[in-house]
Every structure is written in C-alpha cells, then in structure tokens.
Amino acid sequence: MDSLLPILRIFLALALAFAVVGLAHMLRKVRSFGKRELFAEANGTEIDGIRYALGAGMMPWAKESARAHPATYVAGVIYHCGIFAAFLILVLSFLQVEPTGSRLLVVLMSLGLIAGLGLLIKRMITPSLSAISVPDDLVANLLVNLYVASGIAYLINVSWLPLFYLVSILLLIYIPIGKIRHCALFFVTRLIFGRYFGRRGVYPAASAKIKA
C-alpha cells in the first residue's frame, strides 16, 4: 500500500488544483454576468449590512429558522467543524507533519461524522426535506461522511492514509461539480445579503429595534 502513497499524493495535488481551478472558473463565470450598477439612494450603508451578515446575523438567535430547529443548527455547526478538522489533517499529512492533539481531533471528527449521518437520515425521513432533495445532496453527504470517516481511521491507524487520500481526491474533484461549491459561495452570498439589506436600511437597524 505504501508504494501507492507517492502516486496518491500527486493525484491529491492535482485534485486540489482541479477544485481550486473549478471554483475559480465558477466565480469567474458568475462575475461575467456583470455587476448591476445601483441608482437608488441608499438609506443605510452596505458595510454595516455586511458586518451584520457576517457577524450578528450568523448567530442562531438572529434567525427563526435556526431558533426553531436548534438540533439541526447544532448538528450543522458540528458537521462543519468535523469537516474542517479533517481538512486540517489532510493538509498536515500532505505536508508530512504529524498531527498533534489527534485524540481531540478524533473526537471532533467523530462528532462531525455522527452529525453528518444524522443530517442525512433527517433528509431521508423528513417528507418536506426529501421532497426538495436531489441526487447531489446524497452524493455530497456520503462523500463528505466517507472523507471524515477515513480521516478518523487514518488518525487511529496511519495505514489508512491511502484510503483517506483516495476519498479526498474524489471529494476535491466533486467540489466544483455539486453543492459543496457553497464553501466558496457561502461568503459571496452573505456579502450580497449584507449589501442588499444594508443599503435599504433594514439590517442592522431592524435587529436593534424594540422587540415585542
């Protein structure tokens, strides 16, 4: 197996490059539609709106959708923490640095994996959610879960590293193709949201107003 590693490392680098180039191409394509010049006189500032969108607006209490579904919100946060931890492991191993504090990472990633599986089950058994689900949702979730799981396996026993690399390669290739592209677009959309409601004087103004 170990003889495969150098080759997998090359493919991993290529897959990473594919993901980066794919996302860059996607963003360039998006930009090619052009920025619409705005003419209405602003009532608030875009920067205040953006600050809200990336700050207070991300808090669970800022949105009823998060408040009403605390389990989903928490699962989502833990899921993403697990994914980022796995990514950290991947980068470190690629740079041939021994991960330290691996026990903590194992716990974090395991929780993330459980959350990921939980969200998948929720997607399948909740009628409203399964109704709006597409194959992409399943593929992305399974790939990510597999990726986190193989990362955990690698942390427990280094002999699983080739598998971790293999899954990572597949995942990286999939990023620009499916919904995981939101890793880049999330922040773009947040900025758009902040600008839109910021200049209209809705955020952060409304959040500061007297509540019932």
Partner 1 sequence: MVNEAVPAAFSLEWPITQTQLDKIVAAFDAAIDRDLAAQMLTCVHCGLCADSCHYYLTDPRPENIPAHKAEMVAGLYRRNHTLSGRLFPSLNHARPMDAARAAEWIDSLYGRCSLCARCTVNCTVGIGLHQIIRAGRTALAAAGLVPSALQSTVDRAVETGNNMGISRDEWLETIEWLTDELRNETGDPDALLPIDKPDCDYLYAINPREAKFYPLSLLAAGKLFYAAGISWTFASDHYDVTNYGLFSGDNEISGMISGRLQETAARLNAKAIILGECGHGYNANRWEGPEWRGKPHERAEISILEIIQRSIQEGRIVLDPKRHATRVTLHDPCNLVRLGGVIEPQRSILSRAVSEFVEMTPNLEKNFCCGGGGGQLSMTRYADRRILAGRIKADQIAATEAKVVVAPCHNCIDQLSELNRQYKLGVEIKTVTEMVADALVLAPRSAVTSDGGHPR
Q: How far is the CB of 4 from partner 1 (least distance, A)?
A: 29
Tell me which residue has tokens 């599986």. Answer: 117
Q: How far is the CB of 114 from partner 1 (least distance, A)?
A: 18
In the bound state with partner 1, the residue whose beta carbon lies nearer, of 26 and 111, is 26
Contacts 24+ apart (CB under 8 A), 170-175: 170/15, 170/143, 171/143, 171/144, 171/147, 172/12, 172/15, 172/16, 172/18, 172/19, 173/15, 173/18, 173/19, 174/139, 174/140, 174/143, 175/19, 175/22, 175/23
In the bound state with partner 1, the residue whose beta carbon lies nearer, of 28 and 101, is 28
Binding-site ranges for partner 1 (CB under 8 A): 26-27, 29-36, 38-41, 43-44, 53, 57, 63-66, 68-69, 72, 76, 123, 126-129, 131-137, 139, 176-179, 181-182, 185-186, 188-190, 192-194, 196-197, 200-203, 205-206, 209-212
In the bound state with partner 1, the residue whose beta carbon lies nearer, of 9 and 122, is 122
Chain center to CA of 55 = 17
Q: How far is the CB of 77 from partner 1 (least distance, A)?
A: 11
